[in-house]
């Protein structure tokens, strides 16, 4: 398997559990382009986690195909397949008897890397996920906070530089403030790493924030819509999707766009509230409402005025 990002294809992938009525995943077909984040979202019973675990064969397919860079998963040796895919779960599943370093080095050790190589990789990854390579490497999982544990879980999944990452509600058990920070850092990391990621969540806001594409699954593991967040918010295919994304979907759509993306009138903005160009339209609108104003002055990071955005511009 390549170490660069891989394209992942679900082709009529189906899972039926023996003795249970109906499918858990029902003829799921979708393509995750290399280097993109695909978020699987939907109500419980929608088969999100099952679909995810089909990919690394923790759950065997009943019928259909899943291909990674054109090769069917069934054609890989199952151990090799799993070692080449990063896997992150909600409860993290760190090994309590191993230090942070031991945990992160698990797959590299299995792959037979030499000690020095592993040490360097661990230091690099700790830096990458925002932990202290000196202090934290010798800690045991019990000495870490929930957020730190999930960072270690992410570093461990990235250790052997997999082409594909499977993430099953990785931030689901973390308090909202830390979760938002981890989401931001994950996006920053992804800018750099450009992995192909399949990310399961039940939180629509998280899906909108993280996904390049979102797959909404409905009861019985059927795909309701697979589209960019923008498309899903602006053109839900049916009532189920519209209901699922929520009545505030217009506002959510605003949160996807930033002031800097607008055509700005270069009027002078004396006395207007000043907002940086990377503020979302949603936050800008909230400020206009709160301060009872009609326009803001958009400024660049160093504070230079870029132009004025009116309430109409935001809502256009």
Partner 1 sequence: MSGWRVAGGGGPVIPNFGQPSACLKHNGWFCTDWLTKHWGDTLQPALIQHIQLTLIAVGIGFGIAFLLALVGFRWRVFDAPLGGFADLLYAIPSLALFQLLVPLTGLTVTTVEIALVSYTLFILYRNIIAGLRAVPDDVLESARGMGLTRLQTFLRVELPLAAPAILAGLRIATVATISIATVAAFLIQDGLGAPIFDAIETPDLFKTELLVTGGLAILLALVADALLAAAQRTLTPWNRLR
Q: In the complex, which residues of this chain contact partner 1 (CB under 8 A)?
A: 56, 58, 78-84, 87, 89, 91-98, 106-107, 110, 140-143, 153, 156, 166
Query: Could you tell me whether strands 164-168 and 196-201 are parallel, antiparallel, or unpaired per DSSP bridges?
Result: parallel
Q: In what order do the strands lie in the sheet with 63-68?
A: 25-32, 8-15, 63-68, 71-72
**Dihedral sign for Cα atoms in the order 251, 255, 261, 266:** positive
For residues 174 and 216, which CB has a smaller minimum distance to partner 1 in the complex? Answer: 174
Contact 2, 194 (CB under 8 A): no
HSE, CB side, 13 Å, CA atoms: give it for residue 286.
9
Contact 235, 228 (CB under 8 A): no
For residues 80 and 127, which CB has a smaller minimum distance to partner 1 in the complex? Answer: 80
CB of 42 to partner 1, least distance (A): 21
d(CA 160, CA 93): 18
The SS3 call for residue 195 is coil
- Tell me the sheet residues that pair with 87: 166
For residues 17 and 95, which CB has a smaller minimum distance to partner 1 in the complex? Answer: 95
CB of 77 to partner 1, least distance (A): 9
CB of 143 to partner 1, least distance (A): 6
CB of 67 to partner 1, least distance (A): 19
For residues 65 and 76, which CB has a smaller minimum distance to partner 1 in the complex? Answer: 76
Contact 166, 8 (CB under 8 A): no
CB of 82 to partner 1, least distance (A): 3
The SS3 call for residue 136 is helix
- H or E element at residue 47: none
CB of 184 to partner 1, least distance (A): 24
For residues 82 and 209, which CB has a smaller minimum distance to partner 1 in the complex? Answer: 82
For residues 168 and 227, which CB has a smaller minimum distance to partner 1 in the complex? Answer: 168
For residues 37 and 107, which CB has a smaller minimum distance to partner 1 in the complex? Answer: 107
d(CA 173, CA 204): 16
CB of 56 to partner 1, least distance (A): 6
Query: Could you tell me whether strands 196-201 and 37-41 are parallel, antiparallel, or unpaired per DSSP bridges?
Result: parallel
Contact 221, 23 (CB under 8 A): yes
């Amino acid at each position: 398997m390549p170490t660069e990002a891989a394209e992942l294809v679900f082709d009529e992938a189906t899972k039926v559990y023996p003795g249970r009525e109906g499918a858990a995943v029902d003829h799921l077909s979708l393509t995750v382009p290399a280097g993109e984040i695909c978020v699987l979202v939907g109500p419980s019973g929608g088969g999100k986690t099952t679909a995810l675990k089909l990919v690394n064969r923790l759950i065997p397919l009943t019928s259909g195909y899943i291909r990674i860079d054109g090769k069917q998963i069934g054609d890989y040796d199952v151990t090799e397949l799993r070692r080449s895919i990063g896997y992150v779960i909600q409860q993290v599943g760190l090994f309590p008897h191993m230090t942070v370093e031991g945990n992160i080095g698990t797959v590299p050790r299995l792959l037979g890397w030499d000690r020095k190589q592993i040490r360097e990789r661990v230091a690099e990854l700790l830096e990458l996920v925002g932990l202290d390579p000196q202090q934290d490497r010798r800690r045991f999982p019990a000495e870490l906070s929930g957020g730190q544990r999930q960072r270690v879980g992410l570093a461990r999944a990235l250790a052997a530089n997999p082409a594909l990452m499977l993430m099953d509600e990785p931030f689901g058990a973390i308090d909202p403030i830390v979760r938002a920070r981890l989401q931001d850092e994950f996006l920053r990391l992804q800018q750099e790493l450009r992995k192909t990621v399949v990310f399961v969540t039940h939180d629509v806001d998280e899906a909108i924030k993280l996904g390049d594409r979102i797959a909404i699954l409905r009861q019985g593991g059927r795909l309701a819509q697979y589209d960019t967040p923008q498309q899903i918010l602006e053109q839900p295919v049916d009532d189920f999707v519209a209901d699922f994304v929520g009545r505030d979907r217009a506002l959510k759509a605003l949160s996807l766009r930033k002031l800097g993306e607008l055509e700005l009138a270069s009027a002078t903005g004396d006395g207007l509230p000043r907002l940086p160009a990377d503020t979302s339209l949603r936050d800008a609108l909230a400020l206009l409402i709160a301060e009872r104003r009609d326009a803001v002055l958009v400024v660049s990071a160093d504070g230079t005025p870029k132009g004025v955005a009116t309430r109409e511009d935001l809502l256009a």
